[in-house]
Structures are given as structure tokens and as C-alpha cells.
């Protein structure tokens, strides 16, 4: 069974949303996980904007990169430059992709302004994961 790993700095927003979408679109055909180079806790705004599209990530939790899972993955997707730059070395058999996404946790302004950034990043992740699922249809 193919295995995918989504990595971000704190495993609180982008990688959690990517994991949620991948579980939704790839289903039981893939092992799906996410992690961070640090642990920042699950961002409640990420949970809220995912719930808006019918995907529940409320039971997810922030985790550090598992070197064994990383080394055994078929695909590793980094969702920020920090994770790309700090990700441990992977074997040549592991495909690596980088999706440079805005950090929604760094958004400022009113609550609605911040949620707008979260929704924009969510929608970009949604489109990228759907594309990934289409590439891997049997």
C-alpha cells in the first residue's frame, strides 16, 4: 500500500489540512500521515475551516516527524520552506514534492481576515491533493 507523509513546521495547520484531504480523496488505498519538524498543537482555525467543507480533523494531534515512517514513505510533501529545509534526508526511493504555501497561522487582522487566509490555503491544499489523487488513480 502506498504511503504519503505531509510535513510542515509545527504540524498545526497546513499539514493537518493536507492529511484530512488526503484521507478523504485517497481513502483506504493509501497510508496517510502528517508531522512537523516541531510540535505546535492543532490550530482550532484549521479545524473550523476544514469542518466548513465537511472534513473533521478535530481528533488529529500535532506530531514530530517519525524517521521510520518518513523513510518508508513513497511520497513526502513539504508544505513550507522550513519543513523542506529541515526535513531529514530520505532514501532515493522516496519521492519528494514541495508545495510552497502561505502560513495561515501568521495571518493578521480581524478574525474574518484571518479566516479568509485559512480558507484560501485550505482551498489550495484541496486542489493540490485532488490533483495528487487524480495522478494516482488506478
Catalytic residues: 8, 80, 87
User: In whole angstroms, how far apart are CA 19 and each of 8, 13, 28, 129?
Assistant: 11, 10, 13, 9
Helix axes 44-52, 14-26, angle to 10 degrees: 30
Kindly write down the DSSP assignment for every residue of the chain, as one continuous string.
Answer: --EEEEEESSSSSHHHHHHHHHHHHHGGGSEEEEEESS-----HHHHHHHHHTT---TT----B--HHHHHT-SEEEE-SHHHHHHSPP--TTSEEEE-----GGG--SSHHHHHHHHHHHHHHHHHHHHHHHHHT--
Amino acid at each position: 500500500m502506498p504511503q504519503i507523509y505531509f510535513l510542515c513546521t509545527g504540524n498545526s495547520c497546513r499539514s493537518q489540512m493536507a492529511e484530512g484531504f488526503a484521507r478523504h480523496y485517497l481513502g483506504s488505498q493509501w497510508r496517510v500521515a502528517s508531522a512537523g519538524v516541531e510540535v505546535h498543537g492543532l490550530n482550532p482555525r484549521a479545524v473550523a475551516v476544514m469542518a466548513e467543507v465537511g472534513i473533521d480533523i478535530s481528533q488529529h494531534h500535532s506530531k514530530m516527524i517519525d524517521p521510520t515512517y518518513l523513510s518508508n514513505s513513497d511520497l513526502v510533501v513539504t508544505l513550507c520552506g522550513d519543513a523542506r529545509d529541515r526535513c531529514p534526508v530520505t532514501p532515493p526511493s522516496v519521492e519528494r514534492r514541495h508545495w510552497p504555501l502561505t502560513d495561515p497561522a501568521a495571518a493578521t487582522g480581524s478574525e474574518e481576515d484571518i479566516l479568509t487566509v485559512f480558507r484560501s490555503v485550505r482551498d489550495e491544499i484541496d486542489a493540490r491533493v485532488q490533483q495528487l489523487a487524480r495522478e494516482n488513480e488506478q
